[in-house]
């Protein structure tokens, strides 16, 4: 007899696996090996398979012998379905109502709606419903991006009658916002909190005393915890990821992000682990989903078993795309920019490691990452590298686009990786446009005021920002144009930034310009963006059929010769 038993995973990722006990038979062994994605334990003589392989195993093994199956019981179906009961302050969209009902019937899950579909509003209403129906005491909101704390506070005020507090926030008599020390925040969260929504930033989880104050709190019970922009906690071993994983007591957990996979399936490990949908160690998870380089041990050069991770994520998540909404069209425009002669000469010198005129930085041709960064800086803003008078072809084209867009009565957002590029750009923008600049140097306490100025001042036509600071969590639908002087390395981050202007509230067609210097590193970065987009499209959105060419493209990405 062949016996298939479902039990807690041993070597494979997931919650449970299928364990096969078989009589020795070469044909049976060859058949189960053909299924792939297995682990054999010579001590127990059991074959471990992902649960998704059950149909294959039954269909193919029943020809050899009787198959006895023992599966874990599913207690979820025994519970009566919970439906929303609140009369909302502002009626949610249909897809948001579906998210609310999903949240009432699933305790720990991933909310993976695309950016711009209103995940914040859905979560606020789920918490309200749980307070009413399950006597929830507090909902803790952990912001993966520090600057979006104020946005959560505003959204709660707009969509809910419940109170909220940002831990550590102080407002002076003159309205100036500042934040207390982490020590003071720990004391604040230990003391009795009257507000229902409690908002913190993910960096506070780096402090073990702060995490302990949440877990062993005698005055406040955090029954529900939400991690917003959960992709910011994707690195195993980091202090904030470790802090997040220690928050185990909450009955209700939601990890929310529109871009779960920024690079590859490994990005899903921490979110899945936190919502208790993954039992494996990171090493087991990594080995199962990764193809490693023969040349450089430990270097991931490709992915495998994508069908397994796809099913695993789908089993504990809700994902909707913008096709649900009647949003204006979004058009991507790749514009190739010809470098002027001086700009081209500088770029070629950086590429060849020539130090002539490169007097502001050190060139290290042996360090691939450092050289790649210098090449990207060279295409965007030569003044980062040299004190010589070398005009940036990208900045010149960007200034022309800004004038053209504003002359047609529209507003524009300009994103860059480097703050120096934006400082150089703003020097040449007409003061009549009232440009606003937000970079990593801008204090988080000032960001909301600057955003409000851009939104409410009809004379403010241009917002310049680093995508690291403003590419997530903010609504900037006043503008219908966006220009990237250079882009992130990952499609998920790029798409998040684009959706600051393409989301609920957008009334005009949206146009996204991506300025690419011809015959430079920019073209390679664009290829990498599109390659990584295909991976996410398959695993998260089931848009394409993945094949060996994707793996080869990933190998090419990590092959230094291609840079």
pLDDT of residue 75: 54
The DSSP-derived string for 458-525 is: TT--EEEEEHHHHSSS---TT--EEEESS--SSHHHHHHHHTTTSSTT--S-EEEEEEEETTSHHHHH
Secondary structure of 6-43 as H, E, C letters: EEECCCCCCCEEEEEECCCCHHHHHHHHCCCCCEEECC
Interstrand relation of 16-21 and 2-8 (parallel, antiparallel or unpaired): antiparallel
Secondary structure of 370-392 as H, E, C letters: HHHHHHHHHHHCHHHCCCCCCCC
3-state DSSP assignment of residue 177:
strand
How many whole angstroms separate alpha carbon 493 and alpha carbon 471? Answer: 7
pLDDT of residue 254: 98
Cα 239 to Cα 243, 246, 277, 291, 538, distances in angstroms: 6, 11, 21, 27, 31
Q: What are phi and psi of 128, to 5 degrees?
A: -60, -45
H or E segment and range at residue 527: helix 521-539
Distance, C-alpha 553 to centroid of its chain? 22
Residue with tokens 């120096």: 420
Residues 6+ apart with CB under 8 A from 26: none
Nearest residue to 480 via CA among 453, 507, 452: 507
Long-range contacts of 358-364 (CB under 8 A, 24+ apart): 358/385, 358/386, 359/386, 359/387, 359/388, 360/384, 360/385, 360/386, 360/387, 361/385
How many whole angstroms separate alpha carbon 408 and alpha carbon 191? Answer: 55
pLDDT of residue 80: 75
> pTM, whole model, 2 decimals?
0.77
How many whole angstroms separate alpha carbon 220 and alpha carbon 216? Answer: 9
Low-confidence ranges of the chain (pLDDT < 70): 74-79, 353-369, 540-563
Do the Cβ atoms of 82 and 16 come closer than 8 Å? no
How many whole angstroms separate alpha carbon 92 and alpha carbon 549? Answer: 42
How many whole angstroms separate alpha carbon 3 and alpha carbon 21? Answer: 5
Alpha helices in 338-443 (DSSP H): 341-352, 368-380, 393-407, 419-428
């Amino acid at each position: 007899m062949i016996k298939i038993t479902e039990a807690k995973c041993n070597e494979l990722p997931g919650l449970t696996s299928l364990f096969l006990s078989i009589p020795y038979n070469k044909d049976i062994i060859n058949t189960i090996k053909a299924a792939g994605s297995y682990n054999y334990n010579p001590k127990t003589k059991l074959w471990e398979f992902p649960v998704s392989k059950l149909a294959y195993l039954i269909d193919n093994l029943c020809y050899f012998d009787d198959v006895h199956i023992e599966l874990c019981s599913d207690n979820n179906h025994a519970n009566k379905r919970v439906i929303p009961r609140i009369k909302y302050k502002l009626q949610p969209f249909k897809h948001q109502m579906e998210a609310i009902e999903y949240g009432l019937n699933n305790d720990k899950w991933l909310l993976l709606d695309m950016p711009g579909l209103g995940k914040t509003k859905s979560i606020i209403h789920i918490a309200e419903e749980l307070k009413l129906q399950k006597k929830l005491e507090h909902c803790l909101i952990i912001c993966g991006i520090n600057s979006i704390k104020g946005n959560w506070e505003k959204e709660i005020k707009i969509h809910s009658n419940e109170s909220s507090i940002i831990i550590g926030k102080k407002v002076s008599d003159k309205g100036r916002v500042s934040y207390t020390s982490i020590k003071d925040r720990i004391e604040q969260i230990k003391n009795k909190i009257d507000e229902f929504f409690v908002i913190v930033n993910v960096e506070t989880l780096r402090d073990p005393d702060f995490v302990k104050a949440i877990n062993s709190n005698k005055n406040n019970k955090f029954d529900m915890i939400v991690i917003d922009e959960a992709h910011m906690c994707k690195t195993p071993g980091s202090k904030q990821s470790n802090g997040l994983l220690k928050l185990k007591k909450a009955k209700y957990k939601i990890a929310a992000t529109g871009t779960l996979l920024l690079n590859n399936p490994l990005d899903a490990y921490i979110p899945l682990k936190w919502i208790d949908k993954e039992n494996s160690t990171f090493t087991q998870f990594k080995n199962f989903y990764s193809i490693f380089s023969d040349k450089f041990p430990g270097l991931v050069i490709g992915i495998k078993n994508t069908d397994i991770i796809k099913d695993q994520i789908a089993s504990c998540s809700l994902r909707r795309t913008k096709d649900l909404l009647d949003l204006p069209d979004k058009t991507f425009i790749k514009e190739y920019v010809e470098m002027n002669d001086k700009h081209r000469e500088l770029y070629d010198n950086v590429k060849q490691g020539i130090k002539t005129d490169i007097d502001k930085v050190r060139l290290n041709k042996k360090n691939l990452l450092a050289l790649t960064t210098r090449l990207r800086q060279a295409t965007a803003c030569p003044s980062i590298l040299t004190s010589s008078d070398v005009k940036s072809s990208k900045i010149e084209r960007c200034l022309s686009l800004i004038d053209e867009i504003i002359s047609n009565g529209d507003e524009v957002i300009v994103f860059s990786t480097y703050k120096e590029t934006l400082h150089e750009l703003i020097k040449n923008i007409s003061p009549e446009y009232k440009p606003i600049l937000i970079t990593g140097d801008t204090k988080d306490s000032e960001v909301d005021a600057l955003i409000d100025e851009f939104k409410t001042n009809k004379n403010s036509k241009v917002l310049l920002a680093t995508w690291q600071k403003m590419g997530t969590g903010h609504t900037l639908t006043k503008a219908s144009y966006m220009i990237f002087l250079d882009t992130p390395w990952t499609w998920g981050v790029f798409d998040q930034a684009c959706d600051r202007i393409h989301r609920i509230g957008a009334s005009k067609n949206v146009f996204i310009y991506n300025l690419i210097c011809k015959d430079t590193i920019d073209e390679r970065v664009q290829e990498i963006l599109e390659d990584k987009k295909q991976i996410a499209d398959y695993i998260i959105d089931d848009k394409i059929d993945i094949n060996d060419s994707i793996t080869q493209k990933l190998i090419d990405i990590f092959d230094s010769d291609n840079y």
